[in-house]
Amino acid sequence: MSYIHVQEGIILRTLFLAYSVFILFYFYDCNYIQATTASREVYEKTGNVIWEGNTQEKIVAITFDDGPHPSYTPQILDILAKYNAKATFFVSGNKVKSYPDILEREVKEGHEIANHTYNHIYNKNMSAVLLSSELDQTDKVIWEIAKYKPSLYRPVGGFHNDLIINTAVKKGFKVVLWSWSQDPQDWKRPAANTISNHIIKSLRAGDIILLHDWTDRPQTVKALETTLDYLYKNGYECVTVSDLLFRSNNSSPSLFRTFPVK
């Protein structure tokens, strides 16, 4: 065998070995490779992912993410009670663990509790194993306190792809996002009237409105009062997300009924 043939053999074996290692790594670690993301149209048709209710009835669902918060959530609950409004709280499991009394109050006052993961990790490429654990831990802590199993889940930051959706759906959750025109970005702490004006300006029957009850939120509390005042003066009812879906015809989805307002 010539020197050239020996060299060729070494190169081929090296390439084959590199290819094998790549294939092995890919299948071993495929959980961590970003899953594909389909369009809203595709997901909405499955009925597993919800942006809003499809209804002409004047009902909307106000949602609060990331709590419960020891100071702001009780203030929000007081205002909701004043208007006999029902809301949905997408809670973080670790906050529930710290403030179980507030979760109990949310349940007792007829609000819906939904799963927003345990540690609120921002990771678009989260593995199925980690997401499952986050969902299970949150369900467990909610069950221990309220004997209640949530049926709705909102991904952190709204990040969703096939892997995230399929993992949640396998566990019996519906994935709930929000109406594209109903994200007043209260987490950026704009003035209270900026938040309420944003909601009121683009309000439609069936909307799912995104607000937050964690961290420093005096503007959100103030904006909630103004918003509820407007809603009730204009004949709207605030219901939980599950109630909104029950009273909507989401078997024929509300494709692109609303668009993001710039």
Q: Which is nearer to Zn ion, 65 or 207 (CB)?
A: 65
How many Å apart are CA 30 and CA 228, to the nearest integer?
Answer: 46
How many Å apart are CA 8 and CA 110, to the nearest integer?
Answer: 74
CB of 120 to Zn ion, least distance (A): 6
User: Encoding tokens for residue 42?
Assistant: 């595709």
Q: Which residues, at least 6 apart from 4, have a Cβ–Cβ distance to it below 8 Å?
A: none
User: Encoding tokens for residue 44?
Assistant: 């909405």
Looking at beta carbons, which residue is closest to Zn ion? Answer: 65
Total residues at the site for Zn ion (CB under 5 A)? 2
Q: Which is nearer to Zn ion, 65 or 112 (CB)?
A: 65
Hey, how many other C-beta atoms are within 10 angstroms of the C-beta on 39?
8
Q: Which is nearer to Zn ion, 67 or 206 (CB)?
A: 67
CB of 116 to Zn ion, least distance (A): 6
Residues 50-109 that bind Zn ion (CB under 5 A): 65-66
Q: Supply the residues annotated as catalytic.
A: 65, 212
Torsional sign, CA 220, 221, 225, 226: negative
CB of 134 to Zn ion, least distance (A): 12
Residue 113, strand partner residues: 89
Q: Which is nearer to Zn ion, 52 or 65 (CB)?
A: 65
CB of 158 to Zn ion, least distance (A): 8
How many Å apart are CA 66 and CA 138, to the nearest integer?
Answer: 12
Torsional sign, CA 128, 158, 252, 238: positive
Residue ranges in contact with Zn ion by CB under 5 A: 65-66
